[in-house]
Structure 1
């Protein structure tokens, strides 16, 4: 008798990382994929997989809407979140990244889900006392609403893990690069289109990960038999902001500015932009939380656990950027 397929529900399945996770899950013939979507229109982003997945409408900020999507699921991957550094209403960060995550976790307990993977960010550690940090490091202060809200959402899950045995794992993705990113946080499009007037934090170092590697890590954490109770930092290629944009310039054959503007000079300007954006409801050119994150210094972590336990190997940043640039320049 054929063993019944394990049902995996993915929140945030229509997003940049979520679409790749769905694609990766479908490579496993023993899995059946459900996608939580806001609406039928929202499911259009999953059209390439339409005949192979089930889309169920729901919203992580409304716990009562999750039961149908989670019922009978063996595993849940929570990718849904507000991945930005600005909002016209800062409460949105906490509504989605904190309370939304808690709604997912509590629903998983109610529906007796056997594996739960929370997808988060290294920024959830804030600014740790020692750099590079690892999964066991204590968090520091958080320079942005995004970082703080993700930390609080993660902690809600770990409390339920300790108190009610929520079968939780967490995957913390470095800055994700690849084709199909519709957010402005990584500034690839601005650089390619020559709309980058100067560098900010040119000597600050960040860690990057290719989007397909990110999806691979998430699925491996889900399926690893000993991953419950474990956190994984994902991504191992580091580059300063200057190196990052110079790489974009070389691949795209565009000019990248050399001038670096100190963060201290920009804080008054960013605050003014922020105040104006509160009135216009439009994202400022330089969100204040981006500047605060840059001013906090390099974000360096040790990803060896992902290599040792999940057997991760990582694609180069150059390959990831080349794919992103090709996608940006592809005729629509």
Structure 2
């Protein structure tokens, strides 16, 4: 009998690809939860409306064994909300905990929560890595909301017996990725020179296929129950190295100018772009030793292969 898995956020970047992957797995019967079901959507999708503390999940939860909760109010660089933390809490905390309580009541056995490395913090110092055992230190509203959701889930697990698995990814890249990563690739594709040729930071990231492989592992691995896992490709790159790898994968060499990092930092501060500069110039390294040891898991895809797959669709077209 196949394991019945409900994936929330099935129209999103991670959730959409996860549903497609599960649909090809004979051992899984997948159902994808979306806010609104569009004409032409297949029968595996079910509409649940807006996700918050009042969402009714009863129909979507019928007969499900596992929930993979990818739906969230995503991180926004220049958030225009009057009170961003309240908005993040409404979806990421209220919506998540409401779903978990209803899942426990419906007899769901496991809840896999896609959190964020931002729960650990915004950056690491040279030679240090974030670990799953670190004291959480979120700094922005998104990270705070994800941490509060984790805490609430762990409490629900204690009270109900629902198994909770928390996964904290760093930047996820793959076909259809958006945000700063997509913006950078567009500039490279146009041959635009970037002043990032002398950046010697180290950053972890994770290929979409690696994240999905870990999620699949956590669906029924007994060792995953009530644990927190960090995930990455297992290869840390500087911003300069990453852009060169992106260019190679795209078949369009990156044009990088060797501007000193301190000068870039000063310019970003003057322009009010400190957060963006932190992502480009600062380090954020993730240690996945514990994920490997506890789950017996290894990232199946290298950075080079992950980037190749990221751009394969565009190249084929």
TM-score (norm 1): 0.81
Match of 1:95 in 2: 90
Match of 2:120 in 1: 125
Query: In structure 1, how many angstroms separate the alpha carbons of the residues matched to 2:46 and 2:160?
Result: 29
Match of 1:274 in 2: none
Query: In structure 2, how many angstroms separate the alpha carbons of the residues matched to 1:183 and 1:122?
Result: 17
For structure 1, list consecutive stretches of 5 or more residues without a partner in the other structure.
271-285
Answering whether residue 269 of structure 2 is matched by residue 267 of structure 1, we say yes
1:220-277 CA deviation, whole Å, 9 max, x = no partner?
111112321111111112101111112122333233222344324312312xxxxxxx
Out of 213, 217, 242, which is 2:214 matched to? 217
Match of 2:256 in 1: 257
Q: Number of matched residues?
A: 304
Answering whether residue 303 of structure 2 is matched by residue 306 of structure 1, we say no
Q: Which residues of 2 match residues 1-332 of structure 1 at below 5 A?
A: 3=1, 5-41=2-38, 50=42, 53-86=44-77, 87-89=79-81, 90=84, 91-127=86-122, 131-140=128-137, 142-185=138-181, 187-195=184-192, 197-199=194-196, 202-235=199-232, 236-251=234-249, 252-258=251-257, 259=259, 260=261, 261-270=263-272, 289-293=275-279, 297-314=282-299, 315-329=301-315, 331=317
TM-score (norm 2): 0.84
TM-aligned CA deviation for residue 13 of structure 1 = 1.4
TM-aligned CA deviation for residue 143 of structure 1 = 3.8
Change beyond 3 A, Cα 1:192–1:29 = same
Change beyond 3 A, Cα 1:22–1:196 = farther
1:135-189 CA deviation, whole Å, 9 max, x = no partner?
111122x343332222222222122223443310111223222212234445333
For structure 2, list consecutive stretches of 5 or more residues without a partner in the other structure.
none
1:60-102 CA deviation, whole Å, 9 max, x = no partner?
2253332211232111000012333322212433332222222
TM-aligned CA deviation for residue 17 of structure 1 = 1.4
